[in-house]
Each structure stands twice: as C-alpha cells, then as structure tokens.
Chains A and B, each alone.
Chain A
Amino acid sequence: MKFHIIAAKDLKIVMRDRNAILLLFLMPMIIISVAGLALGGLFEQNIQIGVLVVDLDNDDISKGLVEFLEDIDILDVDMESNEFAARDRVKNQEYGRLIIIPLGFTESVMTGQDTELLIITNPTEESQNTVLEKIVESYANRVSTNVVVIKTASAYGIPVYTEEQILEIVDTAEQFVQPPPVEVITESTTSNLSEYSPFAQSVPGFAVMFLLFTTVHIGSISLIKEQEAGTLRRLLTAPISRAEIIGGKIASTFLRGFVQLTVLMYFGHVVFGLDLGSDTLALLVLIAAITLASTGLGLMVAVLVNTEDQADSVSNLLILTMSALGGSWWPLYIEPQFMQDIAHFTITAWAMEGFYDLLYFDLGLAGIVKEVGMLVLMMIIFFGIAISRFKFE
C-alpha cells in the first residue's frame, strides 16, 4: 500500500504553507476567543429544558416530585391541570416534554403498589429528553424504595400500618442503599451536568466551521490542483492504484482535520476551562466522525465541480450556510423548529448536537450513538457519490 506516501507528501506541503497553518490553528483560536468572550452571556439563560407537568394526583409524593423538578436549575417547569390540553401543547411543539403524574400515584407508593410516571417527548430534541428522563428516573428510584419496602414487609407478614412507620422503614432501607451496595455509574444524572460556559458554544461551533474550511474548502481545492497541475495524471501512469491515490488524499485531509479539531477543543479546555466531558474516547470518536463526514463532502465537491474557482465558491457557500444553519454561530435550539429540522441535513447540526451531549450533558459514548451514526451515514453518501463520479481521465 502506498497511500501513506501521498498522504505524507500532502501533509508536508501543508506544513510548509504558512497561510494554511494560520487557517488551521491560529485564526480559529482568535475567533473562538473573541466570540466566546464577546457573546458569553447571550445564550446563557437559554440553556433550559422546558417541561410541562400535569399533576393529576396532587398529593404528597407527586407534589414532592414537582418540587424536586423545580429545584433543578436547568429545568423550566410549567404546570397544566388538563391532561388533554397539555398533550395538545406538546403536539403543537409549544413544549418539548410533558410529565404526567397519574391520579393515585401517592397512594400507590404508600401502599406498595406498582405505578408509573408518563413522559411524553418531542423526538427531535433527544439529548434534552435523555437528561429529563434521567432526572425523573432518579426520583422514581427513590420513591420505588417505598414500594419495595412495603412489598417485602407484606411478603413476610409484617404489618405496616401508618405513614410514619413506612417512612421510618424507608429511611432505614435508604441508609443501606446510599451509597448503593452495587454501584451503577450513570452518565447523565443531574450531578453530571456541566456548569454553563459560553465556550461550550463558541469552541465547538467555530472549531467545526474551521474544520469545514480545512476539509471541504482546502480538501477539495487540493484535489483539483492535483488534477489541474497534471500530477494526478502523472501518478496514474505509475504503478499505484486509483484507490491508493484517493486513499492518500482522503487520509491527509482527514488527519489534518482530526488534528485541527482535537487541538481546538483542547485549546478551549486549557485556555478557557471548557469541560470536555468525562469520556475522552467518546470525544475522539465524535471528532473522527465529524472529520470523516466533512472529508467526504470535500471530495464530493472536488468531483462535482470543474475548476479551482468553482470549488472555492461552492465550498464557501456550503460552509457558511451549514455553519449558520447548523448551530456553529448560535445554539441550534434558538432557531425555529422548521429551521432546526432543515439543519439536520447538515454536518454541523449533528456535530453540534454531539458536542452538546458530551460537553454539557456528559452523556458519554452511548449518548452520541445517533449523532455519530448520522455523520457516518453522511460520510458513506458523500464518498459514494464522489467515488462513483470521480474523473480519472
């Protein structure tokens, strides 16, 4: 295999180009710093997960749940008394999430009967839904202890008559389960939510935009230059396969992009204290998926245009549109829903959602499966189109 020879040559050419190095690292670092410092407070109050609650029970434990939710800073809780009206408000996308506490919830808990809490969500805001589910689950686990205690007592014929007695037993039981004998490390309980930092938007946002300049703009132009200068044609007369030539071009663009995005994210971490989440592997997987998808887009642009000037115009148009639409310049969730829906056709939107999941919600590898899957799908489509239309002659 000789693709690494082509990749190494491309990297050497880039490293020698002072402008390319500026575009790769220095310029993004300046823009990230300026944007993060200038727009710091602008989106802060918007990092809220809106949730509508219908409390059909309206008793001690259901009220306790509502208070528990209201105490969590990132939740914006609103009450609705009518279940059907509440469902309509979610259906009309006025709210993204609805919790319904059923009638008799408190009584069921206190008498040791199974019961349930219903969460209705808008599927387009998956990461926020996941956080809410984890919050509600953590409360449900606590009240489930009541049910387990009462069921266990009943199973052994121990009479449990009063609320005080139940609470006393639950308190005792909780002493044994806190900390739990079998510890399950979850990645999205409320305690794992990161402190809001304006750099959680500006660092990944601008880093992804500059990555697109590297992979789509420079990547496509590099291939067209190779065609226009005749070096591609010369390579084709040598004993090297077409796959190795294309593989070399892809590898060099991918490596440049991967290093750039990784360096910029760690720049945000070191200089501005940006929390990169607890799962380094997940972060690197996400960076790799974003870089692969954008490398594929760059190759597709190179194949579909005819000249360097066309590649320049088309890639700039794509990058700026994707950045504005997909959430590089402002958080995706402040856009109207239809724009958010359109944004999900872009690499940027899936990249930014992946970064929110890791940097803000700290959901780990399991939390970014959908985003990585979509980016890989985009990569397959872009590479598929590019390779099928590649003009070797």
Chain B
Amino acid sequence: MNTDAIITVENLVKRYNGHTAVDGVSFEINRGEIFGLLGPNGAGKSTIISILCCLLEPTLGSVVIDGSDIRKNANNIKKIIGVVPQEISLYHTLTARENLVFYGKIYGLSGRALKTRVEALLDMVGLTERADDLLEGYSGGMKRRINIAAALLHEPRILYLDEPTTGVDPQSRRRIYDTIQDLNRQGMTVLLTTHQMEDAEKLCHRIAIVDKGKLIALDTQKGLLELVGESDLIHVQATEISPDPVELIKRMPDVQKVSLDEGNITIQLVRGRESLAGIIDILTSSGTRVESIYIKEPDLETLFLHLTGTSLRG
C-alpha cells in the first residue's frame, strides 16, 4: 500500500441502465501531486470525478480519500475537497464577491474569516477591482477564475478541476495554469480531467489515459511517450476524401495507424518527414483536396492514437 497516496481507487465500476461508464479503473494519487485524467469526451472521466466528489455511488469497487471511504464518510470527504466544475456554476445576477460569500457560508465560514478569505481569493485571481460587478458582465475567462476561487474558500487539501480551460482565451488559460501551479506549490493535491493535451502536458506530474471507461495507460508524460517510440504524427485537413487513399496510406511501410474523422486524417508513422511527399501524392492523385498538412513530434495525442487507434479530438 502506498502511504503517500491521498486518493486510492480500486476496481471502480459504474453502470447506468446497462451501460458501463467506468469499467474496472484503479489508480492512486499521491499527496502534493498534479494528476491528470486524459481522454476524449465520453471516455468516463467526468463519471470518475463525480464518484470522487461523492455525487455518484460506485456500482463496484472502492474509493478511499485521505483515509475516508466515500460510501461511509462522504461528509468528511466533502470538507477536504474543492470542486471546480466544467460549467460556470455561479449565480450570474450576483457579484463575484456575493458568489464567493455565498459559497463560503455553505462551507461554514463566517464573519471576519470569511471576509479575509474572500478578499485573498479575489486578489489571487486578479479580480479585486471587479469584485462588486455582476458576474453577467464578466468575460468567460474571468468567470472561470471566479469558478476556481469558489472551490478554494475552505482551503481544501484536494482540488478537482473538470476541464478547467474549456472555452477560455490563451491569456486566461495561462493564468489558470499559473493558479493551479501556485496552489500545488502550496501543497494542494490536484486532480484534473481534460481532453486537451496542452493541459495535461503543461500541468500534470502523472497522467492517466482513459478511453471507453477503461484506464489504458498511467505514467509520467516522459514514461508515456516512451510507449510510442519514435513515431511522428501527420495531421491532414482535407475535403472530398474517399476511402481509397486512406487504405493506400495504411499500406505504406512506415505507417502504424491511420484515423479518419470527417475532414481530418491523422497518421501515426515513423520517419514522418520522409513519407510526407508520398502521402501528399496519394491524396492529390485520388482527387482529395488537401487544405493543410503538418507534422508533429511524438506527444500525448500520438500516444492516444497509438493506444486506441482513434484521435483524442474525436
């Protein structure tokens, strides 16, 4: 048993109406770690996080958080976790300060302690000057920052972030990354779910890759990329794609996997630059109109394609 583990998930299964959303998932998250659950939409990440938030009861398996079993001590667990939902779960006709005061009271804060904490968090997310404006006048990025602040009022030991950068501009994304890294430096354990490679690559110490309810790989980014070897990834954006050229590309000697998703062809192969001319030739001679093509070094997306045969974006 790992004594550093603050979250231990064993053989977790969740079934809804005959559909298995989570299928025998096991992992541990260490204290002070930023842990990512990476997978496409519908992979089961949100179901796992819902169980870890005590919103859903597991069908089978066990989850122990800081020594408490979620089936027996949900209320204790709720006191030590902070949850940042994917959607902006705030009241748009209240001000940022009123939202934070409301959630602070829900977590049992009051009086001077509540006031001090609210001011500190407004300062942390850089919104002190806009604190008394109604939230409905905020940009998406500003709302997301308050959405995170609302989860930190009670100084939780563990922070869950569900797709924290969905729909935000690059500047706000950078600010959210900084905030998460600052919190982690202060000792907070962070669990984030994302389907965005960049989130996982920039933030996570370890990454668990989830697909169709199963955990298919778990390691550091470096360790995961070693699974792919020397593979490159070629992305082709095209129109009027017929199945024939895709089949021809699959038969090329260095090609490992090909996935077709509407107007996007994703090809995993070794020595990508050497095969590029041949791929373009096959596509153009079959009448496919290539609009853009680019080659990428191995990354988590390459890994996902390697492991599942499908694109992470799909």
Contact = CB atoms under 8 A, between A and B. Distances in A.
A80 B108 CA distance: 74
A26 interface: no
Contact of B107 (A12, A230, A231, A238): A238
Q: B interface, how many residues as a size bin?
A: 20 to 34
Contact of B106 (A17, A233, A238): A238
Given A229-B89, A237-B81, A393 B106 contact: no
A233 B93 contact: no
Nearest to A2: B106
Contact of B79 (A6, A16, A239): A239
Contact of B102 (A5, A230, A393): A5
B98 A12 contact: yes
Nearest to B98: A12
Interface stretch (B53-61, B176-184, B241-249, B270-278): B53-61
A377 interface: no
A2 B105 contact: yes
B89 A231 contact: yes
Contact of A393 (B56, B81, B87): B56
Interface string B108-134: 100000000000000000000000000
B204 interface: no
A389 interface: no
B85 to A, nearest CB: 5
Contacts of A233: 55, 85, 89
Interface string A309-353: 000000000000000000000000000000000000000000000
A63 interface: no
Given A12-B98, A231-B90, A237 B105 contact: no
A166 B288 CA distance: 121
B78 interface: yes
Nearest to B99: A9
B136 to A, nearest CB: 11
A45 B78 CA distance: 65
Contact of A238 (B78, B87, B94): B78
A239 B90 contact: no
Contacts of B54: 237
Given A12-B94, A13-B93, A239-B78, A234 B107 contact: no
Nearest to B49: A237
A42 B115 CA distance: 60
A230 B75 contact: no
B78 A237 contact: yes
Interface in B42-92: 53-56, 75, 78-79, 81, 83, 85-91
B89 A230 contact: yes
Interface in B260-298: none
Interface string A198-211: 00000000000000
Contact of B91 (A13, A236, A237): A13
Contacts of B91: 9, 13, 229, 231
A327 B93 CA distance: 36
B89 A234 contact: yes
Given A239-B78, A240-B106, A393-B55, A234 B85 contact: yes
Between A230, A235, A238, the greatest number of chain B beta carbons within 10 A of the residue's beta carbon is seen for: A238
A230 B75 CA distance: 20
Given A236-B55, A239-B75, A230 B93 contact: no
Interface in B154-168: none
B35 interface: no
A229 B106 CA distance: 18
Given A12-B94, A13-B93, A239-B78, A234 B83 contact: yes
Given A230-B87, A233-B89, A238 B56 contact: no
A239 B78 CA distance: 5
B304 interface: no
A9 B101 CA distance: 10
Given A229-B87, A233-B85, A393-B55, A239 B93 contact: no
Interface of A: 2, 5-6, 9, 12-13, 16-17, 229-231, 233-240, 393
Across chains A and B, which 6 residue pairs bring their CB atoms closest together, nearest first? A234-B89, A230-B89, A230-B87, A237-B83, A239-B78, A237-B53
Interface of B: 53-56, 75, 78-79, 81, 83, 85-91, 93-94, 98, 102-103, 105-108, 150
7 contacts: A13-B91, A230-B86, A234-B150, A236-B53, A237-B78, A239-B106, A240-B106
